[in-house]
A and B are shown apart, each in its own frame.
Chain A
């Protein structure tokens, strides 16, 4: 269809049919005042602030909800439009408390800004203002001053449309209308913080940030999220060398204008009481603080002594530069380095065509019309990638799931197949004869996406090969900020994450092995067996397995580069100085290399390290999800109950584990042992009852919980949590036993 030609404030513009007057104004760069309109949300037209004059229309019309028509003549700032907008502003201010001096939104408030332009200096309203009671809707979003609400319903629509769950609603009507969560509920969405950004007034504010700073006192530094593989763009806001707040930096190709709560609130961990701020040595079982040269010399001496057998375990949340130096150090000293700590199958290492990645730009997820997601806790592992698929599903994309749990992804699922972990491979191989296969076959833009669970699976390489064999493009949902960057940095070196544990000296980079490794027991034994362990971390480790602790600067205190799951190379600068004596890890690794006499380790700047790492590498050519692997027969069914282990969203890395507000959320509740009703009956346990989980040499005591959608013979026991750190591999069998509840005899 042809474009519509209209005129706004005397300027001609052409827009496609279906566009609104607001769209046309935006295209011309004309600002029409508004509160409820948001380009990512549906149109509500309930604030009426965007009233404009349209020729031949008898009354002012809301620009956001008025379709553009051919030949339309619109005036956004004529006397008529202005007086309509001023009238609306007067009504909006009638019940608004005007408590700007004590309001957190002051200085960054749309109502405040627009009141300057459209409000009067005095109110004609002499009656009593209404009062709306405060609400407690959870640890992240404060709804303490709901009298400020102007009922734009952006937060409600965000829940319905973006987060996929309507947790807030507007009850009552007219003067009594108010925003509430359902009686006594909280807002538990993993995207809830975005409601704060959307709220045009100070009704919804950030609980951790409340009263911490005024917006004009904050310096703004761009950064990149260190958590999931998406690489969300951040604005880190700083006052007096302290991170006060993190907001999204809009990037339509990556995080749009959203952030997950994990990205938004993990900064709180920077001020955790567990921060490691001085190098520490263990002498005869006693920890003492030392200065850097002493600590580094000791480490260099020990590593040189163990030359030929140095294992470096880095988390994939480490920067590209850190991983590159770690790899080179392992190479020079002789040993191995790897970043894939939760992976257990490395049989694909020599058979891969390149660096596993998303297989497409993130933005292309929007355009898929059929997708199969294999082995992924999608919503919690990749909150914003899930959001992309949710929008795709809304547009008609059919989302199919093959997994071992059936969690609610808050989007329509076309077909699901839920099987025990041991049957995942067979199920994927047999997908073609099933409704999932039919669904994929009927699509034009199809992808098979492998999630964290599939990548951590003991037959991960076979799963990749089986996915490839389906004949559709495949992609990996990268677990961490540098899951692609690790490969680009040249890792793994000299083995893999499992074999690295066998070395005499171990270097832990950001890693907490009992929480970050595929098998905490093996990792723990390796630490005990090793002659020397040095831990480079931002926090004091919970488990005392090291001989030397070196304080390094985490996210926001260091510069570096993350390569996102779509292969986007994003560098960032530090936002604040490191706490105490902490140093950027790349400098620590460089000095260790120098002290150990490694040749060519004289980098003076981070840029030189990055340059050396990326020199001659064409990332686009290196990315490939191809694998040349002969199909192996499926593993025999294991005897006993199978463990299904997820990494809970707020326990995935060292930072989020120590972010106090995130730890208060529902998502951070202690893990439970989930099982279906039949298994509960077999075991003679009921929901809520404590059970003893035994795996390998360890055990854990958890509360039993019912999830009837779990497959037969499986128990869902999350990993990466202190309460389950004593257990063995994330995949494997375990024993479950009811614990007698103490009864009076």
Chain B
């Protein structure tokens, strides 16, 4: 199901907790699984559940609770825009509108070329630097004016 490298990474996470609490590693394990597969299919969550000795539905609870897990296939770059109140006051809704217009997709959709998925996010703890855009759960871009957003899209397209 998962590569030996992924399993090694998950085992490393499991080792951080007492043996009888290995389900504590579920969030990390899901991230590892998603890094490899791109998204969390039912079978992938099933595998993680079995690997950690948890009920599959308990894994599903976690995977559906947090924004960073993709329960559907996502584009090459997932752009998550925080639209919580402080960010919204700082212009993140305009930033989101700009991205929607540029990409031609709404929240939760993927561009036809499969390159970008746009997602609505929750607080990322960076309200002061709003608007913020998170790329593939890993890299955060702040103070996203329309010009910076365009630059970001161009840069990602070039990669």
CB contact between A173 and one of B42, B57, B58, B65 (< 8 Å): that residue: B65
Check if A338 is an interface residue, CB within 8 A of chain B. Answer: no
With A169-B60, A172-B64, A172-B65 known as contacts, the answer to whether A183 contacts B42 (CB < 8 A) is yes
Of residues 170 through 193 on chain A, the ones whose CB sits less than 8 Å from some CB of chain B are 170-173, 180-185
- A residues near B61, Cβ cutoff 8 Å: 169-171
The answer to whether B57 and A185 have CB atoms under 8 Å apart is yes
Q: Shortest CB–CB separation between residue A356 and chain B, in angstroms? A: 37
What per-residue 1/0 map shows which CB atoms of B47-62 lie under 8 Å from chain A?
0000000011110110
Chain B residues, Cβ within 8 Å of A183: 42, 60
Residues of A within 8 A of B58 (CB): 166, 169
Pick from A159, A160, A182: contact of B56, CB below 8 A: A182
What are the interface flags for A590-621 relative to B under an 8 Å C-beta threshold, 1 for contact and 0 otherwise? 00000000000000000000000000000000
B55 near A171: Cβ-Cβ < 8 Å: no
A181 & B65 in contact (Cβ 8 Å cutoff): no
Bound Cα distance from A166 to B23, whole angstroms? 14
Give the shortest distance, in Å, between A175 (CB) and chain B (any CB): 13
Q: Closest CB of chain A to B85's CB: distance in Å?
A: 14
Total interface residues on A, CB under 8 Å, equals: 17
- Contacts known (A166-B55, A166-B58); A171 close to B42, Cβ less than 8 A: no
Give the residues in chain A near B60, CB-CB below 8 Å. Answer: 169, 171, 180, 182-183
Within 8 A of B (CB), among A5-48: none
Which residues of B58-73 are within 8 A (CB) of A?
58, 60-61, 64-65
Which residues, 6 to 40 on B, are CB-close (under 8 Å) to A?
none
Q: A165 within 8 Å of B by Cβ? A: yes
Of residues B55, B57, B61, B65, which shows the largest number of chain A Cβ atoms within 10 Å of its Cβ?
Answer: B57
Please report the C-alpha to C-alpha distance between residue A180 and residue B55 in the assembled complex, in whole angstroms: 13
The answer to whether A165 and B55 touch across the interface, beta carbons within 8 angstroms, is yes
Give the residue name and chain of the A residue nearest to B61 (CB). Answer: A169
Q: Does A381 sit at the interface, judged by CB under 8 A?
A: no
In-complex Cβ contact of B55 among A167, A172, A173, A184 (8 A): A167
Q: How far is the CA of A213 from the CA of B62 in the complex (A)?
A: 39
Does A465 count as interface, using CB distance less than 8 angstroms?
no
Residues from chain A with a CB closer than 8 A to the CB of B64 are: 171-173
Tell me if A168 is interfacial: C-beta within 8 Å of chain B. yes
Query: Which residues from B are CB-within-8-Å of A168?
Result: 57
Cα-based distance from A173 to B61 in the complex (angstroms): 9
State in angstroms the CA–CA spacing of A487 and B58 once bound together.
47
Q: Is there contact, CB below 8 Å, between B57 and A182?
A: yes
Task: Give Cα A184 to B45, complex, Å.
Answer: 13
Which residues of A are found within 8 Å of B57, using beta-carbon distances? 166-169, 171, 180-182, 185
Give the interface of A toward B (CB within 8 A).
159-160, 165-173, 180-185
Q: List 8 A-B contacts (CB under 8 A).
A: A169-B58, A171-B64, A173-B64, A182-B55, A182-B56, A183-B42, A184-B42, A185-B57
Other A-B contacts than A171-B57, A182-B45, A182-B57, 7 sampled, CB-CB below 8 A, are A160-B55, A165-B55, A169-B57, A171-B60, A173-B64, A183-B42, A184-B42
